[in-house]
Each structure stands twice: as C-alpha cells, then as structure tokens.
C-alpha cells in the first residue's frame, strides 16, 4: 500500500456536530448593518453574571478565543480551537445551519417588522376558516400573555413574527389541537413562497390559563427546503448515516436525514446525542441544543443563559466519554442572541469552533475561519468527498491513522 493510499484512508469514521444554538462570541465586522454592533453573547453573558464556571469547555480552549470572565485561557487546550464568521446574508437559525452544512445563502430570507401583508393574512384566514389575532413582531411568551385570553374566547390562532424570517402560529392545545395547528402551519407553508418564502413556519402550542400560560414541547418547525445541495445530501448518497438530534430534521425539511431524534429540551438533547453515539454507524450526528436561544437569549435572560451553559459544561464529560476511538466532535454555534442587549432578536456574530477526538492528539489553533461552511468542507474531506464551498481544516488536525 503506497503512501498516497494510506493518506487517503478514512481515519475518522463518525463526526458529531453539536450546535449550542445562539452562542455567538463577538460582533462580526458587518454587525452594525444588522443593528448588532457591540453584541457578544458569550462574553457579555459572562460579564452580566460575574463570570462563568465552565471548566470542561475551558479545558478545550474556549477561553483562548476571547477574554471570558471566569474562563481563562489554558496553556495546553484539549481541543483544536478557533472561531468562524458567517458568510451568508442573515443571522437566523436556518441560514446558520445551512452554512454549517455547506450551503451559503446569498440573499437573506424576508422579514416582516410591520407584520405580514394584509392580503396574505386574509388568504391564510380563508384557507383555515378562521380569523387570526396579532400579526406583528413579538416575543412568544409576551404575545400569548397579551392575546391568550382573547384566543381562548374567540378560537382565533395568534400570528406573530420576530427579527428572524419566521411565521409563527400560537394556539392553546385545548382550543386548537396540536394536529390541527400543524395542519394550519402546512397551509401557511404552502402560501409562503416566492417573495414571501420565509425560512420557517413554526407551530407554537401552549397550555394554561390567563396569567399562567406556558408553551409546550410540541413546537414544530416547517422549514423551507434547502435551496441547494448540503453535505447531508452528499453523505446519505454515499450510504452513510446522518442522524439529526433536536430540530435538525426540521431545519433541513427532512432532506439528507436518515434518522431523527426530536427533543424536549437541552438535557433531552444531550441524552439523545449520547443515544445516537451508541447506536449510529459511520456518518454524521448533528445536534441542536435550542434552550440557550429560545429560553434565554430571546428573553434577555443572561442568568438563565449562564446556568444553561454551566449545565451543558457539567454534562460534556458524558458526551466525550461516549465517543469512539474513530470519532471527531465539533462544538460550535449558528449565530448570536445576546441576552444583555435591548434587542430580543438574533445577533450577527462570530461563533466558536472546538474540535476534538482520540485520533486528534495535538490541539492546534484553527484561527478565524472565513465561513461556517469550513465545517462541511472538513466533513467532506474526512469521508473522501469534495466540497465546493469552504476550506477544510482537516489537514491542520494531524489526525492519526
């Protein structure tokens, strides 16, 4: 066997990507154009709570990326470390995940700071046979507090959006059963095409009584299918497994996914990731842990955000213990959502990049990657594929045979 053949052998058999949803690490150069100048989700959260206790992430090199109160840099990180900038236009979940998977979005998805056009809402109402409430940008918890009682009285679903490209439908589970809510979302998805092709239609079921409403875990995203090819497509075409944990299958409209594990919360997402690590063969495990974003970033709750980060850090050893010898783990994020700024929207930020595995014995500095798609290019490189977008950092990792 010649040297070239040895070098081309697959030395990594599985890649696990964990997206800590919204864990940005500093404003991108164009952040001001998005209204996000000064945003730094991780650092500002740490400052707001007087420092973070993240010993395991710190040992991987997280503190080597920025001056994070409570997370000092280390001389010998256990992981290769760097940060990535977003090349796509936008700062939403779909854009970030698609770019991680190798698809750069050239034109941002439409947003509706004044609510959706009246003619679109009227057609939606005609198709579902009911009027609607809301139709404005709002926090999900605030709008059900504001309009929940009227929803109970009228049976009209609550329509709202945000700074992201989303059409959200909230409904009490006892007034509009979840299956009917999902059906309404499918109708909205059919309508929202062309110039109104929002990234996601989201079902937001809730329960409770006025003054004590709470959203349930049966949220469901009806995403626009990827507008181009992703690394998930390439891997499944090669006969490899692609397992989505959390809302990954929703984000990619099920495309390129061979198995999906929906989750209730971060703890469940970590457990399902460990299950996937036990059960999956060669291929990719792609996890989204959404609580950082949905429960804390969008609600401007730095204390809750900090606690969620520290909870993940405590469970990180359980994840790394589940890794096989030929596994590689990538920890990153999809955008920012700084809970310390007046805005409740996502923020245009760099994201951290931590890469480790038993066949990656030497930690290296990966620098600032020019696009999230470098992750896809690296995965492609590992599995003997070529990828047209991004630059693989696999050659820097000194992977052992």
Question: For 353-380, how does the pLDDT look when each residue is reduced to its tens digit (9 = 90+)?
Answer: 999 999 998 899 999 999 999 999 999 9
Q: What is the pLDDT of residue 379?
A: 98
Q: What is the pLDDT of residue 8?
A: 41
118-223 maps to which CATH number?
Answer: 3.30.70.1250
Nearest-angstrom CA–CA distance, 332 and 185: 30
Nearest-angstrom CA–CA distance, 361 and 399: 8
- 302: burial class by Cβ within 10 Å (0-12, 13-18, 19+)? buried
- Strand bridging mode 327-332 / 259-261: unpaired
| Whether 82 contacts 65, CB under 8 Å | yes
Render pLDDT for 116-173 as a digit per residue (tens, 0 to 9): 999 999 999 999 999 999 999 998 889 999 999 999 999 999 999 988 899 999 999 9
Question: Is pLDDT at 207 greater than 80 in this prediction?
Answer: yes
Nearest-angstrom CA–CA distance, 20 and 335: 9
Q: What is the pLDDT of residue 163?
A: 81
Nearest-angstrom CA–CA distance, 376 and 110: 25
Top-tier CATH class for 10-108+226-397 = alpha beta
Nearest-angstrom CA–CA distance, 324 and 285: 13
Q: Do domains 10-108+226-397 and 118-223 have the same CATH topology?
A: no
Question: Is pLDDT at 241 greater than 60 in this prediction?
Answer: yes
Give buried/exposed letters for 25-35 (b at 16+ CB in 10 A, else e).
Answer: bbbbeebeebe
Tokens of 28: 């991108």
What is the average pLDDT score of the chain?
Answer: 95
pTM for the complete prediction?
0.91
Degrees to nearest 5, angle at CA 246 with 348 and 44? 35
Structure-token match 């959200």, residue found: 168
Structure-token match 């770019």, residue found: 99
Tokens of 74: 């280390």
Among residues of the chain, what percentage have pLDDT more than 70? 98
Nearest-angstrom CA–CA distance, 170 and 204: 4
| Whether 77 contacts 61, CB under 8 Å | yes
Q: What does the domain layout of the chain look like in residue ranges?
A: 10-108+226-397, 118-223
Q: Is the dihedral of CA 315, 15, 217, 88 positive or negative?
A: positive
Q: What is the pLDDT of residue 1?
A: 30
- The pLDDT-based confidence of 77 (bands split at 50, 70, 90) is very high
Question: Is pLDDT at 251 greater than 80 in this prediction?
Answer: yes
| Whether 357 contacts 338, CB under 8 Å | no
Lowest mean pLDDT among 3-7, 210-214, 267-271, 351-355: 3-7
Nearest-angstrom CA–CA distance, 270 and 228: 29
- Strand bridging mode 351-356 / 327-332: antiparallel
């Amino acid at each position: 066997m010649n040297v070239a053949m040895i070098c081309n052998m697959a030395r990594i058999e599985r890649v696990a990507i964990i997206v800590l949803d919204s864990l940005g690490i500093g404003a991108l150069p164009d952040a001001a154009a998005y209204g996000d100048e000064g945003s730094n989700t991780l650092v500002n959260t740490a400052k707001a709570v007087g420092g973070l206790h993240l010993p395991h992430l710190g040992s991987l090199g997280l503190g080597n990326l920025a001056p994070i109160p409570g997370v000092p840099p280390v001389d010998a990180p256990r992981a290769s470390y760097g940060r990535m900038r977003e090349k796509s236009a936008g700062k939403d979940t779909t854009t970030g995940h698609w770019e991680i998977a190798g698809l750069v979005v050239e034109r941002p998805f439409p947003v509706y700071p004044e609510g959706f056009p009246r003619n679109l809402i009227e057609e939606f109402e005609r198709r579902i046979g009911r009027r609607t409430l809301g139709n404005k940008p709002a926090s999900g918890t605030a709008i059900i507090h504001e309009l929940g009682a009227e929803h109970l009285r009228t049976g009209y679903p609550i329509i709202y959006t945000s700074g992201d490209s989303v059409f959200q439908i909230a409904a009490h589970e006892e007034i509009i059963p979840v299956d009917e809510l999902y059906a309404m979302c499918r109708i909205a998805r059919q309508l929202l095409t062309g110039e109104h092709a929002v990234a996601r239609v989201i079902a937001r079921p809730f329960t409770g009584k006025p003054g004590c409403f709470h959203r349930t875990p049966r949220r469901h995203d009806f995403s626009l299918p990827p507008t181009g090819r992703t690394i998930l497509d390439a891997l499944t075409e090669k006969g490899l497994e692609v397992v989505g944990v959390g809302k990954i299958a929703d984000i990619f409209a099920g495309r390129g996914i061979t198995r999906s594990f929906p989750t209730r919360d971060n703890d469940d997402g970590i457990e399902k990731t460990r299950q996937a690590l036990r059960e999956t063969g060669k291929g990719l495990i792609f996890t989204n842990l959404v609580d950082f974003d949905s429960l804390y970033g969008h609600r401007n709750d730095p204390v809750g955000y900090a606690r969620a980060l520290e909870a993940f850090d405590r469970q990180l050893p359980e994840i790394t213990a589940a890794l096989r010898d030929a596994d590689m783990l990538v920890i990153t994020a999809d955008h920012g959502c700084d809970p310390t700024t007046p805005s409740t929207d996502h923020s245009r930020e760099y994201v951290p990049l931590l890469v480790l595995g038993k066949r990656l014995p030497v930690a290296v500095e990966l620098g600032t990657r020019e696009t999230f798609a470098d992750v896809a290019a690296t995965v492609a490189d590992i599995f003997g594929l070529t990828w047209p977008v991004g630059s693989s950092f696999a050659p820097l990792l000194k992977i052992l045979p």
